[in-house]
Amino acid sequence: MLKRYLLAPGPTPVPHEALLAMAAPMIHHRTPEFSAIFRSAADGARGLFGTEQPVLLLASTGTGGMEAAITNTLSRGDRVLVVVAGKFGERWAEICDSFGLVVDTIEVEWGKAVDPQDVAKALAENPETKAVLVQGSETSTTVLHPVAELAALTRDRDCLLIVDGITSVGVVDTRMDEVGIDVIVTGSQKAMMLPPGLALIALSEKAWRFAERADLPRYYFDLDKERGSLEKDTSAYTPAVSLVIGFKAVLDLIAETGGFAEVYRRHAILAAATRAGAQGLGLELLAPESPSPAATGVYLPADVDGAALVKTIRNELGVFVAGGQGHLKGKIIRLGHIGYADTFDVVIAISALEMALAKCGADVSMGSGVAAAQQKLLEMYGDGGA
């Protein structure tokens, strides 16, 4: 038997509290019983987003939420500025392009965060730009972008800041209203600790004003319609009933275990310990300057076949980690610590990396990564809370 560990940057494991809640017999969605759950889940999501605005729950993966963000706020021929710092930045550009928007891009070296000055310069050159689109956390390069600094640039313009928060909401403290984010999206299979299939999205007052004039084609993802339904504690179409029930269970679990602050602290600690572990092994980080607390990208030694290493970890050791995407394929490994992850997930990930490196013929001092990760965990938990 090979015991499996899911340590990728999503989907993440699902806590048993949510699994059990979702295993209950199906209920109808147009009932007071489900409406109460739906309302409670949508209200709880506002804490995660840091907003007083309604958070809409869509039956879709995160990409559907990204599409909804665009089609509900922009119009044919609008000019947009997309930060392309990895695979998911490319996705923003592709969606904008397929809806006929005029797309300017800022290409950022993979592994680096966008420099807000480059965005300021681009906005000055094209003052008619209607939206800046960026990832909160670019999962393909494990980088955290400076969203608050970008919001300071769009706040007083006729321009929206649209954030793909798929691996940043529930990972870092996302104060949408305070910071001035106009649209933010996330998906259930990441920090929400649920199976895939639920997208969550919120719009600022400014974005709702944009929505009044937005003329891009849309039908299923009509956010104004969803907002109207949410006011009546329901959704426009059949909701992802089980996932909403699971989401309510996850929110209850978070509330019972220290609240959102504890969630952000845990992600920060696990990320720091994973980085320490990789460095303890003598490996270089992909994003040392602005690392995401959702996942850690690590360069593999040049003489190691990266694809074979990922296969070894997954198939021989049972640890499902992610490889590189795009031009980083075969060169890096990405260790997820998002969602339902804790102390020993880090130890397992680093230990598996050490063993797989040894199996692939790398010169590795067994235990050096694990020791560094353990040291960092003890240091950061300090109070023995690990």
Residue 135 binds to ligand PLP (criterion: CB under 6 A): yes
Minimum gap (Å) between residue 238 Cβ and ligand PLP? 19
Minimum gap (Å) between residue 258 Cβ and ligand PLP? 25
297 in Cβ contact with 112 (< 8 Å): no
How far, CA to CA in Å, does 373 sit from each of 134, 176, 180?
Answer: 31, 32, 36
Minimum gap (Å) between residue 138 Cβ and ligand PLP? 6
The amino acid present at 34, given as its one-letter code, is F
Minimum gap (Å) between residue 140 Cβ and ligand PLP? 7
Residue 62 binds to ligand PLP (criterion: CB under 6 A): yes
Give the contact letters, 192-211, x = binds to ligand PLP (CB under 6 A), - = no: ----x---------------
What is the rounded distance in angstroms from the CA atom of residue 326 to the CA atom of residue 337?
A: 22
Residue 360 CB coordination number (10 Å)? 19
Minimum gap (Å) between residue 162 Cβ and ligand PLP? 12
Which parts of 83-122 interact with ligand PLP (CB under 6 A)? 88
Total interface residues for ligand PLP by CB under 6 A: 12
Q: Among residues 44, 54, 170, 187, which is the contact residue for ligand PLP, using CB under 6 A?
A: 187
Residue 61 binds to ligand PLP (criterion: CB under 6 A): yes
Minimum gap (Å) between residue 353 Cβ and ligand PLP? 21
Give the contact letters, 161-180, x = binds to ligand PLP (CB under 6 A), - = no: ---x-xx-------------
290 in Cβ contact with 322 (< 8 Å): no
Which range touches ligand PLP (CB under 6 A), out of 23-31, 57-65, 213-221, 262-270?
A: 57-65
Nearer to ligand PLP, 164 or 354 (CB): 164
How far, CA to CA in Å, does 55 sit from each of 100, 138, 172, 189?
Answer: 27, 22, 18, 17
Q: Among residues 73, 139, 154, 290, which is the contact residue for ligand PLP, using CB under 6 A?
A: 139
Minimum gap (Å) between residue 23 Cβ and ligand PLP? 23
Nearer to ligand PLP, 37 or 199 (CB): 199
Name the one residue in this structure whose structure tokens are 């993979």. 110
Positions that interact with ligand PLP (CB under 6 A): 10, 61-63, 88, 135, 139, 164, 166-167, 187, 196
